[in-house]
Amino acid sequence: MASSRAGRTYRLEPLDTSGVFLGLGVVQCLLLGGGITVAVLVLTAGGPLGLAMLPVLLSGGASFSRVGGHATWEWLPMLAGWGWRHLRFGKRWDAPLPLWPTAQSAPMPPCLDGLDIVALDWRPGMELGAVRDRHRRTLTAVVPVSGHQFVVEPRPEQERLLAGWGDLLGQFAVERGVVAHLAWSDLAQPSGLGAHLRWLNSEDRGTVAADATASYRDLLAAGTEAAIAHHSVVAVTVAAERLARRRRSADSPRVTADGRLDRALGGAVDALLRSLRSADLTAADPLDAAGLQRMMRTRIDPTGATTPLRRGRLAERLGIVAASDAGPLVVEATWSHVHVDASFARTWWVASWPRLAVPPAWLEPFLSAGGVTRSMTVYFRPVPTHQSRRRIERDLVKLDSDAVTKEEKGRRIDARHRRATQALLDREEELVAGYPEMGYLGLVTVSARTVDELEEHAEIVEQLAREHGMDLRPLDGRQDLAWAAVLPLGLAPSTLLAA
Position 396 scores a pLDDT of 84
In this prediction, residue 332 carries a pLDDT of: 92
Q: Which pLDDT band holds residue 251 (cuts at 50, 70, 90)?
A: very low
Q: Which pLDDT score, from 0 to 100, does residue 497 have?
A: 40
Lowest mean pLDDT among 121-130, 211-220, 420-429, 488-497: 211-220
Residue 440 pairs in a beta bridge with: 380
Q: What is the pLDDT of residues 385-417, one digit of tens each?
A: 777 788 888 888 888 887 888 777 777 888 878
| Mean of pLDDT values over 10-36 | 70
pLDDT for residue 69 is more than 70: no
Mean pLDDT of the chain: 79
In tens, the pLDDT along 275-316 reads: 988 888 888 889 998 889 889 888 998 886 544 444 444 444
- Of 45-54, 224-233, 315-324, minimum mean pLDDT range: 315-324
pLDDT at 3: 43
In this prediction, residue 176 has a pLDDT band, given cuts at 50, 70 and 90, of confident
Residue 197 has a pLDDT of: 57
- Mean pLDDT score, 455-459: 92
The answer, yes or no, to whether residue 319 has pLDDT greater than 60, is no
CB atoms within 10 A of CB 22: 14
Q: Is the pLDDT of residue 472 over 50?
A: yes
346 pLDDT above the threshold of 90? yes
The pLDDT value given to residue 484: 92
Over 90: is that where the pLDDT of 49 sits?
no
Question: What is the pLDDT, as a whole number, of residue 102?
Answer: 60
> Would you give the distance in Å from CA 51 to the centre of its chain?
47
Question: Does residue 252 carry a pLDDT above 50?
Answer: no
Please state, in angstroms and rounded to a whole number, the distance separating the CA atoms of residues 334 and 346. 10
Nearest to 145 by CA among 279, 293, 263: 279
Mean of pLDDT values over 213-220: 63
pLDDT at 2 over 60: no
State residue 131's pLDDT score: 92
According to the model, what pLDDT value does residue 424 have? 81
Q: Domain segments of the chain: what residues?
A: 1-90, 92-190+231-242+260-486, 193-226
| CA end-to-end span of the chain | 14
Res 461: pLDDT: 93
Confidence of residue 237 (pLDDT cuts 50, 70, 90): very high
- The predicted structure's pLDDT at residue 496: 44
